[in-house]
Every structure is written in structure tokens, then in C-alpha cells.
Structure 1
Amino acid sequence: MKPTSLAILTSSVIFSMSWAMPALADVDYHIDINQPTHHLAQVSVSFPQSDSDVLTVNLPVWRTGRYQVLPVADGVRLFHATDSKGKSLPWKRTASGEWQIALTKPTSVKVTYQLHANELGERLRHIDSSHAFLDASGVFMYSPEFRQQPVTVNMEVPEGWKSYSGMDKGNTSHSFKAANYDVLVDSPIETGINQHVSFEADGRDYDVVFWGEGNYDTQKIVADLTKISGQASAIWPDYPFKRYVYMVHATSGARGATEHLNSTIIQLPRFNFREREDYLRFISTASHEFIHTWNVKAYRPQGLVPYDYQSENMTDLLWMAEGSTSYFQNQLLLRAGVITAKEFFDDLSQRIVLNQHNPGREVQSVAEASLGQWSSTWGDYAVNHSVNIYSEGYLASMALDFSLLSDTQLAHSYRDVHKALYQQYKIPLSYNVADVQSILKNLSGKDYQSWWTEYVNQPFSLPFDDLLAHAGLITTYGQSPKTEVDAGMMLSGLYNDLIIASVLKNGPAWNAGVAAGDEIVAVNGLKVTADGLTKRLNDFNVGDTIKLSIFRDERLKEVSLLLTEQPKGDLSIAPVDKVTDAHKAFYKAWLGVEWPFNDEGEWINTTD
């Protein structure tokens, strides 16, 4: 759906407003990082002349990539507004992220305020003595009246700092410029003491910026990012950018990642890069955020176009925006040779196990989870009554992929759906459910409304073995599977305590009346510790009843719990007994790589 009131800018094309506009004048931003040790900076914004009686100024209440309202404006103090002659203007606070400035005559307006920036974990804003990470949604105010005006950003930073962004460089090494606020808000700045490496892939330029000391291998990271960056053509015909910036933070604990217009920020604790398991987590995240450059940044669902920075942006298709990105991330790594087929399927196996142990899959659909993302907190209630747009969105994407491959005799896959979305619904357009279903019908010749009802609009449980059998695969716990006891509860994992974080619905602990927040102190009258509980439970057999002593609301309580069984060991994915050429063809059409097993059913390549 084409917006009627606001234009959105992609990295390569500027879309004009739908009515005539006066000549554009820059909105000038200036940030003086004058007290980095205390996370403080002074910000000023100079707006062009306004002929209005009131100039409304906003700071977003959420940031792109994080679909939740945040207390962003709590970092602002000492707000002040002046006219073109430097005279103070009266103003009032009208909402959590809104200020209204009274004007008696046409004038330009300068707004100044103090900014506190210590939200590294939110990937919103962070200033300290070594760097500043500035996401404009948490740093720079805007006026809806001038949202489409060109912007410039000038920074005063400590000596020796270097500054990087997906935006174009300005007149100095610490200045940037963008076509409008929408580009600014989607182009974070990393400035400080950092490492920088450049590379080229498939005719595009890339920068990698590292902040923080850690056990990362810059050479390996750059080599793998180069491989990933050349794989986009597996899905999309071209690039929505000419230059891309990977920003990597090695932190004291903060983690997470966020996609932006032509850049990403990825954070991990500083010593969580070296081990293979840690590195796979990092590199798959990098792939995920890179894919977002198309899926979300170049095209996105109706309800997210244009962004409304001051309220929730509702859509029932967040599972496609996030879950489908998760679905593609390791496929790109597999195609690039960054991960092995075994590593790919180890990840899929873990996703299957998590899904099978999630009671919420029987309660909530991915469409409902998409709409509920803005209020999601993911506590004990959510574990039993919700699904995740990332993990279940991955599985819904997989189900759709397998259906499309089967319905088209391998002529089309889910990749073709996203290729069509990119070609037909680039921003400022947007797509809705009917648009996706239309693409599916054009590709397959079949109506996907009933499929959509079954897998998107209502809770679903996938028949994993039936699906994987198309590709000659099956899930297994080994030739002689074993079982172990299951109590159906999880500890918080904090402070080495025995506080129960969640109790799985209809499981042993649930049926015994155990609840989240209870503290276990003994089993059958004998004290247990957090690190010894699992061993203690394994002293019993499936079908045994044990007595748990728990504290609830500081009162001692004893409950009887009947232990059930669960598979012992790790689920894996292996070839079926009789692999056919049809199986191998399906596998190749699905993942784009050759069959990974030899004739004995062993992995051909298990090294990195």
C-alpha cells in the first residue's frame, strides 16, 4: 500500500512527498560528547523556519528493530528552545516523547538538551570514555514538520576517536549527512577508539568496525563476512545499498543485535567469540542482520510503512519479518561454506526440541504472536501460552517452503516469495497477507488460504519427520534411544539458587502444584543445591514419586511429584534408510547445496 502523506527513503532512491513542497533546508544536528565518563553529551538541533503557531518536536518512543515501547525520553534533561535571534521560546511537554514550542511569528528554531546515554544493552545509545554508540532514535529529536528535510550531523568527540556510519560523510571526519530523518534514524553512528577493516564483495564496499577488547579473530570474521556478503544473490537479484557497515561490540556483558538501513550493530560479551559454539552464534547473527537489509529494510509489512515513531506499529506479519530472516540466516552460511551441513542441522535439531517442549505452540498462532510482540515480556505465563516470532516464525517459514517446493515440483521455493516481495513491494510500498497469498498463487497455481489458516492464523505443530522425509532426512536420538526422568520445570539460573523460573503446562511439576517463583530446598527430606538437583533427580526412575520441599511466600510446603520420561541425549538429523535421487533433488532445491552424506550415511564434511 502506497502511503499518501509521507515518503520513505531507501539507501538508493529518495521518494518525494505526494504534494508540492517548498525548497528543502537542512535540519542541523550537533552533539558535543563533553562528559563521556558520566555518559553525558550536549545535543542541539537547528530547524528551518517554521510558519506554524506551534512547532512539535519529538523523540521516538521505540527504536527500529525493537518492537516495544521504551522510556527513551528519560535520558533527556535541560530542554531549551530559542528563535532565530536567540530569544527563549515557551514550550510544554505534551507526551512522553513530545515537546510543543509556541511561536508568535515565522522563525527558525534551535532546540538544545542534555543527553544521558548508558543503554548499551538496548543498542540505543551509549557513551563512555572509549566510545559512543548513537542510534538516532535515542539521541536526536525531530519535528514532523521537517521529517523529510535533509539532515547533517556534526560531532565534537575526544581526541583520537574515529567515527563510522552507514550515512555519507560530511565535511569533517566526525560529520555525516542524510536525505531525511528516516535515513538518520536507521543509520547509527559508532565513534571512539576502535579497529576498522574494509573489504569488497560482489561489487559492494563493506566496513567492519570493532569496539572493545575481546577474544575475537578479526581476520576470520572479515573472511567469513566477505563470504556471507556475496551470497545475497541466492535470494534477491540486486542490492539496496552501495556500502554496508558491520559494527561489532565486545562488551562486559551486553548482547544482542539490530538491523539498520545499510548497517548493523552486533554485541557479545568480550570473551564469547573464540569457541566454535560462540562463534557460530556470532556469525549466524551477522547473517541474520545482513538479510534484514532486504527483509524489513527494503520491504516490510503494511503497518510498518511508514514508521510511526511515537506509537506501536501493528502488523500480523512480524513472523515473516523476523522468523523468515531466522530461517534464511543459516542457509546463507551453508551456501557460503561458513558452516557445515552438520552444524546447520544441529541448529535445526535444537529448534525442533525447543518447539516440542513449548506448550505455547498449542495456544498461540504466529499471527497473534506478531500482534502481541509490542507487549511481550516472555515470563512464565508466556512460556506456556505463547510462541516466539523468531523461532516459530522460522518453523512456519520452513513449512511454507516445503509446501511450495512440493506444489511446484521443485520449480519454486520460499526464496522466490521474498524475491517477489522485494521486486514488487519496495518501500514506500508495503505488503499485506493478501499480497503474500497472491505471490504464492502466482508461483504455484494453488490457493494458499487454507494453508494460511492452518499454519499462520491458528496454533500449529509440525510433523517434522514427514516434512524432512521429502529431503531424505529423519530425526533421531540414535540407534538405541534412551530416556531419563523429567520433572517439567526450569530453574532461573541466577545466583546458583533453586528458584523455579518456569513450570511447563501439564508436566510433572505443573500437575504437582509447583509454580514459578517457588524455591526448592530438599528432595525426599534431603537438602539439594542448584548444581546437584539434576544429578539428584537422576537417582530416581521414571514413574517414581518424589517429595519436594519448597518455600513459597516464605512458607515451607511439601508436594508429591510423579516423574515422567523424556529422551536422553541430543536429537540429531540423519538420512533415511533408502535415499533416492528424488530426495537429493529436493534437498538441493531446498538448501542450494549438494547432498551432505556419503553412502554409509556419514557426514562428508564435519570440519569448519
Structure 2
Amino acid sequence: MAKVEVAFPKVSSDELTVNLPVWRTGKYKVLPTADGVRNFVAKDAKGKTLDWTRTETGSWQVQLNKPSKVTVSYNLYANELGTRTRHISSTHAYLDASAVFMYSPIFRNEELNIELKVPKKWKSYSGLESESKNSFVAPNYDVLVDSPIETGISHHRSFKADGRNYELVIWGEGNYNIDQIVADLKKISGQAHRWWDNYPFKRYVYMVHATSGARGATEHLNSTIIQLPRFMFRERKDYLRFISTASHEFIHTWNVKAYRPAEIANYDYQHPKLTELLWLAEGSTSYFQNQLLLTAGVMTPKEYFADLAKRINSNINKPGKQVQSVAESSANEWTSTGGDYAHNNSVNIYSEGYMASLALDMSMLNDTKLKHSYRDVHRELYRNYKLPKGYTNDDVKHIIKGLTGKSYEGWWKSHISEPSTLDFKSLLANAGLKLKFGKDKVYSGMSLSSDSLKLARVSEGSPAWNAGIGAGDQIVAINGLKVTASGFNKRLEDFKVGDSIEVTAFKDDKLQHFEVKLSSKPEGKVQIKAVEKPTKAQKAFLKAWLGIDWPFDAKGQYLKK
């Protein structure tokens, strides 16, 4: 629990609106931030208590008898670590202003001073400028909202890269190697000049929470917060997940924080604002994150292609891509719920935005004979559509036309405005690459919940779907014999493609029997390999696309230099 006090300048009207945002930047969801507020009190300059009423979610209306300065105070419940809004423990406090500090619209552009009263041994860090220990200053509320504060007992390192100052702050113990993290962050941070003309910051702070379960990350104006379970740093696959996330959030410093869609260029903290371009803001960042690691030498080509293959395989097996466009997914982000319905009827701005970016990148490279790529679109957005301007669909298409000399109206309609199914064979062939699938295995379309026989989802059009089985059904037996959660998939492997099996399950609490005719699906991981005899044009395309040369072996594996 925290005690928060906000002092406002003299108010000349007879009422003052005080707000706490209903969402935080970087997460396009309405959050119950105001639910943690208790004991709200408003006082005038003489300390007299003022009357107030709640007018809507995140809004308090304070009544004044005469012009006066106003101070509001409240207790704040702060145990929302996973949402990256506010969390206070015996060793730290993480404060995202959107869930901590109230504001008034009439004073939104005023300079702010923030003072923290914390234990003596605690140290405080933020992308904000610091006037003294545990105090910060922000030019306005918008900067404060986009500059979270981490205070407490933590590990801290400073480093420089390409003339900029960087800090790494880690709260929590774990199996991370802080020297390796610093070395890799330095490599990543020093590559940005190859992508954009300059930097929108002089100092950048990487904040990391090594936790007991929370995971995720959020970009901010000149900082980021990354959360990962404390023992998920040592294994290479886990470390790659972490460092890829760091790359993703760093890229956001340009894509979203320096330029973003016009509909959300000026944040409305009390109401959702819809845009069809979140796929570009988030999905393109996902697309670029590993390319930045590749350029920096933090990720190997083999690791890059393994991740790309995994993403392509996920896209191929996503029924929702035939139903929802990436533009609709963007506009729907505020109300998307995930789950079985989303799997069969939706796409998300990250994964589908990644694929749209891949297709656009390769199309532009082809249309310009490798002269321009999708990176150039983002370079132009940074040059000409910096905040507070914002960009529209037409602006992006105008930039593409200017770079390629071609109208992309038709491409935009078939890949962005309408559901899209990509031809990955043709796309990869541009760079002399191909997909290699494993042997076929039996396929039912059923996916279990993590620790039970209750179905988490059933893929539309799959054998189980066609048999009438759906998400939430509880599997009991196959061919009259009991099955367990741990042995379910192994049991299916006892059958051949084309076999019909009887699945017994509780559906709506009624025991029912379903005949499922098993089909096939490639077994094992999908791989990206080189074609047997690449052309000079394909090698040149690979170089222009990813910046790497062509040392593949006879088996199509990329050789380390």
C-alpha cells in the first residue's frame, strides 16, 4: 500500500476534475486502475476538506467554494506486478504513473516534480531527469506517464553505446549473467544508427524484473521494463527470449514512442482510441527485433531462421487468418479476449503483423531491385511523421509508393484490409530458402489444457471439430479405454492416419461419444534451409534482406563464420 499526494496549482473555476488513467501506454486494454484507490481526500490551500463525487471510471469531481490550490491524497493498493502498473514489496516499488499519479486535464502540460519517501537503502531510477536522490522532474504529465520509476534494492550498471548513455537496473535475484546482458545490450544499442537517422533520446534505461512468475515487457519514452521468471535466463533458448524482448522494446523507442498512428498520437488516458495500424506499431517491431540482434551479432543466422520457421509454422496452423484481417485485428485489440474463439476466428497484431511486415519487406525489395526495403518506410515515418503529427494508412501507402514507384493499393487490400494467406514457398525462394517439414503424424486438432483432459481449444476444420468436439469438453476415454492428460498425445500415436477412433467426453456435463477420423500433420519442427543451387540473385536478395552472406553447407545449414 502506498500513500500518494498530488498538489495542484491554483484553480480559478468552481470545480476541478481529477483523473487516473483507465489504461497504460503499451497495453491497449482498459484496466481497473481506479479500483486500488481508497481514502480519497481533497483539500484547499488552507487545509479545508473539499466535497467531491465520482463521475466515471477514473474520474473525481472536486467542488471549490472559491479559487484555491488543491491537494488530493489517497491510499493506493500496489500489487499488480504482472500488469507492469504498480507493485510495492519489502525490497522495491515499481511505479507506472498511469496507475499511480492522478492528473487534471487543465494542468496536463504543466511541469511536475515527483518526490519519493522510501527506505534509506533504496535507490531510485527512471528515464526522467533527477534533481536529487529519490526525486524526479517531468516537463508534463505525458512524459511522466511514459517514464516509469523503479526504486528499491537492485543491481545497476552503466554503459555507453554510439555516443549515448545507458543504464541497466535489475530487481530480483536469478540465474542471469549481468556481464553478458550488459555486453549484448551494448551491441544492440549501438546498431540503431543503421536503421534511423538519429536518436530520440540521450539516455536510456533498461529495467528488468527477475520474478517468481510474472513475464512480459512494456516500452516507454526512453526506458523499458522487462519481466521474466528469475531462473529463465541461463539456457540459450531462455536467454534469446529475454534479449529478443529487449531488442523489441528498444525498437519501440522509435516505432510507437517517436512516431505512431494518428488516432493514438495524442493519448486519451480516459477512453480507448481505435486504429487499424497497431499491426505496424507492434507487429513490425516483432519483425525487426531479431534482425537487429542479427545485425548486432547477438543472434546467429541459425537461431534467426529457427525462430522464423517457428513463426511460419504457427501461422500456417492458425485458422483465424482466414477470417480476420490484420487491420481488423488492430482495431479490435482493445476488446480481444484470446482463447479458442480467437484461435479459430482471429489473428493478433504481433504475429500477423510480423507476417504482413515480412511480405511487405520482400515485395519492396523486389519492386526496387533491392534498393529499398521496409526499413526505409520506418526511416521515412521517423523523418516526416514524428509526434505529435502521427500517420495514417494513406501516409504509409504514400511512403511506399514514393520508394517503389508503384501503387500498393491492391497489395494493401489483399494483405492488410482483408484476411491474408501467404505463400511462404515463394516468399522464401526470393532469398534462396525453403521450408522443410518433418514426417506426417496423426492429427486430431485437439489441444489440452496444461494439466487436465479439458480441451483448451479445437482447431476449426480439424477431425475433432468435424466430429462435434469443442473447447471445454472433458475427455474421458479413447476406444473405451481411460486416458490421462500426460498420456493423451501418446495414445493418439497408437493409431494411423485415416483411422477412426471413438472419443468419449463430457460435453455440457453430459457423457457423449464422438467418432473422429484422424488426419495427418507434419511431425517435428519446421526448418528453413537453403535451396540446392542458389542463384546470384537469391544470394543478393538474402544480403539485402538480412545483411548476411551465403555460407550454407551442402545440407542447407548456415555455417558460423
Q: Which residue of 2 aligns with 1:414?
A: 374
Counterpart of 1:272?
232
Using the alignment, how far apart are the partners of 2:92 and 2:268 within structure 1? 30
Q: Distance in 2 between matches of 1:271 and 1:514?
A: 38
2:425 maps to what in 1?
465
Aligned residues of 2:155 and 2:169 also touching (Cα < 8 A)? yes
What is the aligned partner in structure 1 of residue 443 from structure 2? 486
TM-score (norm 2): 0.99
- Per the TM alignment, residue 379 of structure 1 is displaced from its structure 2 partner at its CA by 1.6
Q: Who is 1:13 aligned against?
A: none
Output the CA distance in 2 between the equivalents of 1:527 and 1:252: 36
Contact 2:532–2:554 (CA<8 Å) still a contact in 1? no
Q: Whole-Å Cα distance in 2 between the matches of residues 499 and 577 of structure 1?
A: 45
Match of 2:84, as an amino acid?
R
Q: TM-score, normalised by structure 1?
A: 0.91
Map 1:252-401 onto structure 2 (within 5 A).
252-401=212-361
* Aligned mates of 1:269, 1:559 — CA distance in 2: 41
The residue aligned with 1:120 is 81
Match runs of 1:425-440 below 5 Å: 425-440=385-400
The aligned residue for residue 183 of structure 2 is: 223
The equivalent of 2:508 in structure 1 is 553
Q: 1:587 aligns with which of 521, 531, 542?
A: 542
Render the CA deviation track for 1:70-116: whole Å, top value 9, x for unaligned: 11100100000011111111110001100011122211100000000
The yes-or-no answer on 1:176 pairing with 2:136 is: yes
- Distance in 2 (alpha carbons) for counterparts of 1:385 and 1:326: 22
Between the aligned partners of 1:584 and 1:211, the Cα distance in structure 2 is 45
Distance 1:601 1:566 in 2: 23
Structure 1 portions without partners, runs of 5+: 1-39
Q: 1:599 offset after TM fit, Å? A: 5.8
Number of the residue aligned with 2:405:
445
- Any idea what the Cα deviations from partners look like across 1:249-299, whole Å, max 9, x if unmatched? 011101000000000000011111111111111110000000000000000
**1:596, CA displacement in angstroms?**
4.2
The secondary structure found in structure 1 opposite 2:529 is strand
Preserved CA contact (<8 Å) 1:341 1:596: no
Rounded to whole Å, the distance in 2 between the matches of 1:543 and 1:600 is: 33
List per-residue Cα deviations over 1:528-562 (Å, max 9, x = no partner).
11111111100000000111111223322111111
Secondary structure class of the residue paired with 1:530? coil
What amino acid is aligned across from residue 443 of structure 2 in structure 1? D
Shift of 1:578: 1.2
Q: Secondary structure at the match of 1:77?
A: strand
The structure-2 alpha-carbon separation of the partners of 1:343 and 1:554, relative to structure 1 and needing over 3 Å to count, comes to same
Q: Is the 8 A contact 2:444 2:464 kept in 1?
A: yes
Aligned to 1:138: 99
For residues 159-207 of structure 1, give each alpha carbon's deviation from its aligned partner in whole angstroms, at most 9, with x where no partner exists: 211110000002x210000100000000000001100011100000000
Query: For residue 124 of structure 1, what is the amino acid of its counterpart?
Result: T
Matched, 1:521 2:443: no
SS, match of residue 7 in structure 2: strand
Change (3 A) 1:600 1:380: closer
CA distance, structure 2, for counterparts of residue 233 and residue 363 of structure 1: 39
> Is the 1:500–1:519 Cα contact (8 Å) retained in structure 2?
yes
Report the alpha carbon displacement of residue 327 of structure 1 after superposing the two structures with TM: 0.3
Q: Which amino acid aligns with 2:138?
A: A
Match of 1:542 in 2: 497
| Cα offset, 1:436, TM superposition | 0.4
Counterparts of 1:64 and 1:85, CA distance in 2: 36
Preserved contact between residue 120 and residue 254 of structure 1 (Cα < 8 Å): yes
Tell me, yes or no, if the aligned pair for 1:359 and 1:504 is still in contact at 8 Å.
Answer: yes
| Structure 2 residue aligned with 1:63 | 24
2-side partners of 1:311 and 1:490: how far apart?
36
Q: Is the CA contact 1:471–1:583 (under 8 Å) kept in the aligned structure 2?
A: yes
Q: C-alpha offsets along residues 406-429 of structure 1, whole Å, 9 cap, x if unaligned?
A: 000100000000000000011111
Amino acid at match of 2:526: L
Of 509, 512, 519 in structure 2, the residue corresponding to residue 564 of structure 1 is 519
Q: Look up the match of 2:171.
A: 211
Question: 1:234, CA displacement in angstroms?
Answer: 2.4
> Residue 441 of structure 1 aligns to a residue in which SS?
helix
Equivalent residue of 2:234, what SS?
coil
Q: What does residue range 141-180 of structure 1 map to in structure 2 within 5 Å?
A: 141-170=102-131, 172-180=132-140
| 3-state secondary structure, aligned to 1:434 | helix
Query: Which residue of the partner structure matches residue 33 of structure 1?
Result: none
Alignment RMSD (CA, Å): 1.0
Counterpart residue number, 2:461: 506
- Kept after mapping to 1: 8 A contact 2:302/2:557: no
- Which residue matches 1:109? 70
> 1:595, CA displacement in angstroms?
2.3
> 1: distance between equivalents of 2:172 and 2:483?
40
Q: Measure the CA separation in 1 of the matches of 2:505 and 2:230.
A: 37
Q: What is the CA–CA distance in structure 1 between the aligned matches of 2:395 and 2:85, rounded to whole Å? A: 33
- Of 524-533 and 109-118, more deviation after overlay is shown by 524-533
Residue aligning to 2:9: 48
Structure 1 stretches of 4+ with a deviation exceeding 6 A read none
Q: Which residue is equivalent to 1:96? A: 57
Contact 1:360 1:387 in 2 (8 A): yes
Q: Which amino acid letter does the alignment assign opposite residue 421 of structure 1?
A: L
1:605 shift after superposition: 1.4
Relative contact order higher in (CA < 8 Å, ≥ 6 apart): 1
Change (3 A) 1:268 1:596: farther
Give the superposition deviation at 1:598: 4.0
Shift of 1:600: 5.9
Deviating more after overlay: 114-123 vs 549-558: 549-558
How far does the alpha carbon of each residue in 1:41-86 deviate from its partner, in whole angstroms, 9 at most, with x for none? 1000000011122110000000000001011100100000011111
